[in-house]
Amino acid sequence: MVDTGQALVMDWAENRSWKQSYSGRQYARQTALVVESCLSIVTGLGITASLGGLSATRACFDPQLLLRFFPVACLFATGLSLKMMSVNYFQAGTIKIVGQLRLPMLAVGSTLLLGRYFSVVQWQVIALITTSCVSFVLLKGQGRLKEGKTFKWKGLSQLAGWVVMNCVGGILAEMTYKSGNTPYYIQKVAQDFGHLLTSLVMLFLVVPRFSPREDIRNKETRPGGFFDSWDIRTVAVVGFLFLDAWIGNLLLKEFSSVTRTVAKAFGVATVYFVSLFYSKERKSNWALTVVAVVVIQSSILYSFVS
């Protein structure tokens, strides 16, 4: 439910809504990630102090722990930044469908790096997910070419970067979170510090190079600075990002990265079909919707053969 809500709220914040009165200038998306990281750190420190006291709070600032979780944080934060940048090109339904490519990549990575075993039936379903995802992307691209539009290579490359970094980060996070006996809330705070640092670098140095209008230091395009164009929709985006990060990492702590991805697959159906109500492109392209259904069905099927 949290994953579904996050995707739909992002579309709502992008002015893709049912009410035209909600339209307005776009907020700088990267600022939402920075605020979410700060909120996670404050929450994590509060939980740590209440459950473990002063000694546990000090453990959150252990340099070795911070360094151990920094690669995980860097991969997740960079990948999430790329995903937020791709929102400029794709709606939530499309992002969810392409994001299902994480499952086959995680399966291959888990086999090679974690020694996890998958049955022949599971590999067949994984192959079906991969084929249907690739077909969805190609079919969507062909539709744009027929309309005389260019293929969204920039947005697609950002989505691909998010998928790869999310997969590598998921495998590394599973290994890191399950190593040692450090409580989850202390580990999460250590990761959030790295997440905040990476998000700040993306906000000030990386994102403005690709999207100058999101440079919060430019007073011509961003007169309001950091919180320029923020409203209740942006606050909702931050809230869902916060919940998704805590619940998602807790799943990695208790289960596998593949299980986490399968759990998210159930939200794909809701996101995609709700987005049909405000996506004229998919209403007129039933073939695209059929392929999307295959992606959703194969993702859910995987959970039953696991």
Q: Which residues contact 226 (CB under 8 A, 6 or more apart)?
A: 28, 31, 216
* 226 within some domain: yes
Which pLDDT value is given to residue 217? 93
How many whole angstroms separate alpha carbon 136 and alpha carbon 281?
A: 13
Evaluate the CA torsion angle 281, 282, 284, 287 in order and state its sign. Answer: positive
Q: What is the pTM of this model?
A: 0.81
The three-point CA angle 104-160-30 to 5° equals 125
Q: Is residue 17 included in any domain, yes or no?
A: no
Apex CA 194: angle with CA 59 and CA 95, to 5°? 135
H or E element at residue 122: helix 120-146
Asked whether residue 132 is assigned to any structural domain, the reply reads yes
Per-residue pLDDT of the chain (306 residues; tens, 9 = 90+): 666 777 778 877 776 444 444 445 678 999 999 999 999 999 999 999 999 999 999 999 999 999 999 999 999 999 999 999 988 888 777 787 788 788 788 888 888 887 888 888 888 888 888 888 888 878 877 776 776 677 778 888 999 999 999 899 988 988 898 887 889 899 999 999 999 999 999 999 999 998 888 899 998 889 889 999 898 989 999 999 998 888 776 665 555 555 555 555 556 666 666 766 666 555 557 777 788 788 777 877 777 776
Question: Do the domain assignments include residue 22?
Answer: no
Phi, psi of 100 (to 5 degrees): -70, -10
Structure tokens at 124: 């067949």
- The amino acid at 274: V
Say how far apart CA 295 and CA 137 lie, in whole Å: 11
Domain assignment of residue 36, yes or no: yes
Residue 38 located in a structural domain: yes
Sign of CA dihedral 37, 234, 5, 296: negative
| Helices and strands (H, E) in the chain, number of each type | 13, 0
Cα dihedral: 50, 182, 2, 168 (round 10):
150
Phi, psi of 207 (to 5 degrees): -55, -45
Contact indicator for 305, 121 with CB cutoff of 8 Å: yes
Question: Which of helix, strand or coil describes residue 70?
Answer: helix
Domain housing 219: 2-8+28-305
The amino acid at residue 13 is A
**Do the domain assignments include residue 13?**
no
User: What amino acid occupies position 190?
Assistant: A
Q: What is the pLDDT of residue 150?
A: 72
Residue 292 and residue 97 in contact, taking contact as beta carbons nearer than 8 Å: yes
- Tokens for 137, please give them: 């992307």
Q: How many domains does the chain have?
A: 1
Are residues 140 and 156 in contact, defined by beta-carbon separation less than 8 angstroms? no
Structure tokens at 32: 């939402």
CB-based contact 240:9 (threshold 8 Å): yes
Residue 63, in any domain of the structure: yes
